Structure 1
């Protein structure tokens, strides 16, 4: 096995006892916050497998809420994140699920406010690393460790090519890309992990392309 850095071996700098149950959980919550682009007014968190069994002892609950507050893994405020969130007016619910999941460290996060809602499924795969496997009903594979662009688009001919051409114009290198759709000819989602952060002017140009509905970026 090859490691990119010493942190792949010893794990991330973090608050809490477990890279999988604490740091990974915080990162799942923070990706949800990044995609929602604001602090939610309510959060419903369903925990599966070992997350459900040990989330209080390992700080998975405060870590996820800390992520929703945009706290990084090493932020000492994570310890008090639930109290902070409640003082901010956030309604929080945790559910211990009995259903089996594909991965033992799985969380389904539903967040929202009066402007909209978001739902994602994330897994903590060890060493603080995560994968987002579902977003608003779309299946995807998003690591959360690289800058990424999520493009919601009509499932029409040429949509993928036009996005790729636009990225090439700005010399943006694609590290990983996949497309998910719920039904043929309906809505689809491009998940594009890139090697560098993208500027807002590129996002606006992507949104102006034919068949593109919404573009969101995740900053590394």
Structure 2
């Protein structure tokens, strides 16, 4: 196995007890919050395999709550996240799901408020690293370790070009990109991991590009 830095070996700076079950879970929760674009009012969290069996003892429950509240992995409030969520009126339900999952540390988060809802599947792959594998029914592969832009767009000629031309204009380098659609000519999802955080002014320009429906970002 290749390590890029010492932090890949010792894991992230974090509130314990486990990098996989705590730090990774927190990052899944925060990714859901970032993609939702605001703090949700409620969350239904399905836990699978190892997550389902050990989530209370390993702190997966409070870590997911902390991520939904926007906490970083080393936030000293992490262990009190469930109580803080309750005080804020964020209702969280944990469901021990018996269905099989591709990875033992898998969580499906369904979050929302009075008007919007988001569904996300994330896995904690070890050392605090995560992958987002599904968003609102679209399959994807998002590491969560780099800034990213997620763009919902109409499956039309020129949609991808209109986005990449804007990113090139501002010298934003693309590290990973994929496009997924549910059917020809319907809605599609563009996932772009970049090397630096993208300014809100650039996101606004992207929103006005051809065939774009909605944009969300994950900052780093």
Q: TM-score range by the shorter chain?
A: over 0.9
Greater alpha carbon shift after TM alignment, 201-210 vs 127-136: 201-210
Superposition deviation, residue 216 in structure 1: 1.4
Structure 1 length normalisation: TM-score?
0.98
**What aligned pairs does 1:103-182 form with structure 2 within 5 A after superposition?**
103-182=103-182
Moved over 2 A (4+): none
Q: Secondary structure at the match of 2:121?
A: strand
What is the RMSD computed on CA atoms of the aligned residues? Answer: 0.8
Q: Secondary structure at the match of 2:191?
A: strand
Superposition deviation, residue 115 in structure 1: 2.5
Q: Secondary structure at the match of 2:109?
A: strand
Partner of 2:55: 55
Cα offsets for 1:180-217 (capped at 9, x unmatched): 11111100000000001111111111111110001111
Cα offsets for 1:153-189 (capped at 9, x unmatched): 0000111111111111111100000001111110000
Superposition deviation, residue 5 in structure 1: 1.5
Partner of 1:88: 88
Once residues 131 and 38 of structure 1 are traced to their aligned partners in structure 2, the CA distance between those partners, rounded to angstroms, is 21
Once residues 72 and 200 of structure 1 are traced to their aligned partners in structure 2, the CA distance between those partners, rounded to angstroms, is 21
Superposition deviation, residue 4 in structure 1: 2.0
Partner of 2:31: 31
Cα offsets for 1:98-141 (capped at 9, x unmatched): 11101110000011101211110000000000000000111111
